Chains A and B, each alone.
Chain A
Amino acid sequence: MLRYVLKRLVSLVISLAVASLVIFLAIEVVPGDPAAYMLGLNAQPDTLAALRDQLGLNGTIPARYLSWIGGMLTGDFGTSYTYRTPVADMIGERMWISLPLALYALSLSTLIAFPAGVWAASRRGSAVDMGVMGVTQLGVAIPNFWFAMLMVLVFAINLRWFSAGGFAGWEQGFLAGMKSLTLPAIALALPQASILTRVMRSSLLDTLSEDFIRTARAKGLTRRQVLWRHALRNAMIPVLTIIGMQFSFLLAGAIIIENVFFLPGLGRLVFQAISARDLIVVESVLMLLVFAVIVVNFAVDVAYAAVDPRLRGRR
């Protein structure tokens, strides 16, 4: 097990190094000068040069890459061009919204998907199964921003139960914070839950048709016992993969939902930074997201090994 974990760790470090190089080069070749963006139409050439100097945009590309990577290794993500505050602080602040939102949405989707998937699989072909499949088909098909706008219309504009968006702030209390994240979390969770339900169901059905299940039934276990004791654990691998992917997606991919609910999260930060050519922010946030994806994948790999002993021995 230790050997397996070590191997995964090495590949994690290599992936990170390659990703950082790709991100840096990709962002550097994007056209657009951050200084010109900040100073607008009446800026004079000497003013632009002065600002570029202030921002440290005059160094060579390798030197800037090394200073970026070096800074990041020591926890210094640099200073945002436009906001002029440390990028690490900005990311930290946004994390307090994006991370809870992602976890909230993921919990909702898992809480819905597990029972729904198991229920549908255990009653294959029944009305319940058909119903679950129909609803999840709809859930996958509905664009989440549209669903979000619909919820705003009903719950914020008509019923006035929630505000139309914005974040109350954790300093207003845990419940107030969670309340402002509720509609966005539901909007994000709906398609995820639908996907997860379907994966859960089909994975469970696959497992239920395998020989060892028949053996277990033959030795006298009830359907329910087989389901809970043998099938579920074996059906978990694809489900874990999807959950891992969903978490990284939710962390980074909430850009549209954050815009609909004007939440100051990571997605919106990246969005603003890209249009303002605040390259250092874009690079750092992307790197962080890559880091999150790779670490989550690492955790999922380790979790596989825990669920499935065969993986530990594999070369």
Chain B
Amino acid sequence: MIYMTFTRGMVSALALVAGVGMAQAKTDIIVGMQLEPPHLDPTGGAAGAIDEVLYANVFEGLTRFGPDGSVNPGLAESWEISEDGTVYTFTLHDGVMFHDGTTMDGEDVKFSLDRARAEDSVNAQKALFAGITDVEVVDPLTVKVTLDAPNGAFLFNLAWGDAVIVAPESIDDIKTNPIGTGAFKFDNWVQGDRIEIGRNPDYWGEPAKLERATFKFISDPTAAFAAVMAEDVHAFLGFPAPENLPQFEADPRFQVLVGSTEGETILSTNNKQAPFDDVRVRKALAHAIDRQAIIDGAMFGYGTPIGTHFAPHHPDYVDLTANTAYDPELAKSLLAEAGFADGFTTTLKLPPPSYARRGGEIIAAQLRAVGIQTEISNLEWAQWLEQVFTGKDFGLTIVSHTEPMDIGIYANPDYYFQYDDADFQNLMEDLTAESDPEARSALLRQAQEKIAEDHVNGYLFQLAALRVANAKIVGLWENMPTQANDLTAVYWED
């Protein structure tokens, strides 16, 4: 140890000598991420990692999300909505160019939207575009989009990564050579290792502050820790080992950013499978769960308890956690009332993320305390999709729903947890048709209360966005209103 400290001292002394003359702020950044995008087309795949590299950096949509989740103008500098709410007329920014030098105009917008809603479209969020009946190019800088019915969330939908504007000229190679309009250009992808992007000198808006950014993919949590400690990466976004964060917090070289994501982590319950078709059993489930114990045990304290399927940082969020406070005695009596005084046995199918695997063990213990036995099976994602999501062959599962504003999934009776309630479905129809902000937020509150009252699923916590970065890096988003790592405003402090 003495030897090591001595050597370390020597090495830092050498580094000091070498560091003289390097006072200028750095203009490049190496960012670690756990998952690598399978390909680079945000409009043709659900993998969050695609957007986490490309959204806002390389690709832009007509509207875009701000760091607080607000919807701001993107490639459309303004828009007008017809009286009846079905026609949106977008005015595009002038002088926007794709990275290959072609201009971005109304034709590209039409192409992108038509491609996303086409019959053979492979857009993972095709439902976002379902209401579009026509896209018309009025002139190169004006596009008119007609909907079959008013849709209060349309501008929000267009801000998704799945709705970015792409060009017909470069679409064939988009999966390996993405050409967008953003402040960064795609440079290089060493598959399995890293993706490099560089500043776009011809950007139409505020240029990026960084010269270059490299995304490096490190899937193993221990390796991620080592890479940050050895300063091989300057920041790690979505840090996979929450147990190590206190160590970074104590180290002046680093800053730890803990924000919120759109990930509602829930104990998903098969509402059509006995005994969960009985609301008393689902209520018992809700009271049997100690949320804070799960957050502490599975996430090392990072995460916000939720009582419904809605993001706590959203202005319309209603905190309903108190209605399902931890009360094992109440849970037991509810079970007895439903005819399960001796409990029952069900399946608990867990996908790979640690929130599910670690959380699952804790939940199993909590349920056992009220008499519910669980048979745990650990599944890979592909198996989970087949058995649970498509096959609906499960009693309970734990999963984080990471899409923003996805309470609408409760209106689909075929969705894997199979909640079929006419009142809720009407509520969602009203919401879609409503564009008055106040009426919308009232409806959203009602919807949250409705699913909480029906105890559709066990609501656990909102997944935290955990980032570690060099203390001198400024401008990283703290929250993740969508799965994105917008680096356009990031820079190094002197």
User: Which residues of A are in contact with B by a Cβ distance under 8 Å?
Assistant: 31-34, 36-44, 46-47, 50-51, 53-54, 82-85, 90, 93-94, 149, 152-154, 156-160, 163-167, 169, 259-262, 264-265, 268-269, 272, 274-277
Contact = CB atoms under 8 A, between A and B. Distances in A.
A33 B388 CA distance: 13
Interface residues of B, number: 53
Interface in B263-301: none
Interface string B196-221: 00000000000000000000111110
B229 interface: yes
Contacts of A40: 45-47, 124
Among B219, B381, B382, chain A packs the most CB atoms within 10 A around the CB of B382
A277 B47 CA distance: 14
A37 B45 CA distance: 9
A32 B385 contact: yes
Interface of B: 4, 7-8, 11, 15, 36, 38-39, 45-47, 119-127, 175-176, 190-194, 216-220, 222-223, 226-227, 229-230, 232, 352, 380-383, 385-387, 389-390, 401, 403, 406, 409
B122 A47 contact: yes
A163 B232 contact: yes
Contacts of B386: 31-33, 36
Contacts of B46: 38-43
Contacts of A32: 380, 382-383, 385-386
A167 B223 contact: no
A84 B175 contact: yes
A44 B124 CA distance: 8
Contacts of B216: 166, 262
A159 B8 contact: yes
Given A47-B121, A84-B39, A156 B226 contact: yes
Given A39-B122, A84-B176, A269 B192 contact: yes
Contacts of A38: 38, 45-47, 124
Nearest to B192: A264
Nearest to A256: B220
B2 to A, nearest CB: 13
Nearest to A81: B38
Among A42, A85, A93, chain B packs the most CB atoms within 10 A around the CB of A42
A93 B191 contact: yes
Given A84-B176, A164-B227, A262 B381 contact: no
| CB-CB nearest 7 A-B residue pairs | A40-B46, A32-B382, A264-B192, A82-B38, A164-B226, A164-B230, A264-B193
A276 B4 contact: no
B463 to A, nearest CB: 15
Nearest to B193: A264
A153 B47 contact: no
Given A50-B122, A166-B232, A157 B190 contact: no
Given A157-B226, A165-B227, A276-B38, A259 B127 contact: no
A185 B39 CA distance: 30
Among B7, B39, B220, chain A packs the most CB atoms within 10 A around the CB of B220
Among A51, A93, A169, chain B packs the most CB atoms within 10 A around the CB of A51
A259 B38 contact: no
Contacts of A265: 192
A262 B121 contact: no
29 contacts: A32-B386, A33-B382, A33-B385, A34-B382, A37-B382, A38-B38, A40-B45, A43-B46, A44-B127, A47-B123, A82-B38, A83-B175, A84-B175, A90-B191, A93-B192, A152-B230, A156-B226, A157-B229, A159-B11, A160-B8, A164-B230, A165-B218, A166-B193, A259-B219, A262-B219, A262-B227, A269-B192, A275-B382, A276-B38
A157 B38 contact: no
Nearest to B380: A275
B191 A264 contact: yes
A164 B191 contact: no
Given A41-B401, A276-B38, A164 B232 contact: yes
B227 A167 contact: no
Nearest to A162: B230
A85 B11 contact: no
A149 B243 CA distance: 17
A272 B380 contact: no
